[in-house]
Structures are given as C-alpha cells and as structure tokens.
Structure 1
C-alpha cells in the first residue's frame, strides 16, 4: 500500500526487535523451567509422602499382628 509504514524501517530497528525478542524468549524459557522444577518437586514430595504413609501402614499392620499373637 502506498504511504504505509512498515516495521522495521531500518536495520537498527530490526536489530533492536531481534534483541528484545531474544530477551523475552529467554525470560519465557526461564519461567517455564521454573514451573517444570516446581511441578517435579511437588511430584517428588507427593511420592515421598505416599511412601511414608504406606510404610507407616505396613509397620502398623506388623505391630498389630505381633501383639495379637502374644
């Protein structure tokens, strides 16, 4: 279209746009990595808690059986 301004207008604007885009992508990747770490940590805690509950339940069953055989 005649008279329509396009971006980037020159090489400097293009360079700045690329630089800003890289920074934004870097921040996005960092945020996603943090979220993935938090999710993994939460999953590990849940697994450890479940393991502890199961172990406590088994221990309780063993103790009850031992006491009932006396």
Structure 2
C-alpha cells in the first residue's frame, strides 16, 4: 500500500505552524516532521550520539572498581 503525502498541508504546518525555514523543513525526515507535529509516542529512537551520551553519563564499572 502506497501512502501519499499532502505536501501543501505539511509545508503549511511545518513552515507556518512550526516556523521552520524551507531548508530546515526539507531536511527533515517524515518521522521527524510527525514528531514535531505531536504525532507518535513522543520518543524518537536512540541514535549513536544518544547512546554515547548515555554511556558517558552511566559508565559500566565492575563492583570492585574504585572509580579511578
């Protein structure tokens, strides 16, 4: 099944509603635009940067590791 996007409506929502510049609007993926428009669970999948930030905040340590 092929879904079609209603580009005029999406452009109005993104540029007028969200105040995005055209270049920023066109750089978004459909999933990112849906997220910005309040659709979905509100949680985006974790990317590599998010994983690295999480690992830096909560490094793995052995129980007998003194942290040094």
Tell me which structure has the larger Cα radius of gyration: 1
TM range (shorter): under 0.3
TM-score, normalization: structure 1? 0.26
Bigger helix share: 1
Higher relative contact order (CA 8 A, sep 6+): 2
TM-score, normalization: structure 2? 0.26
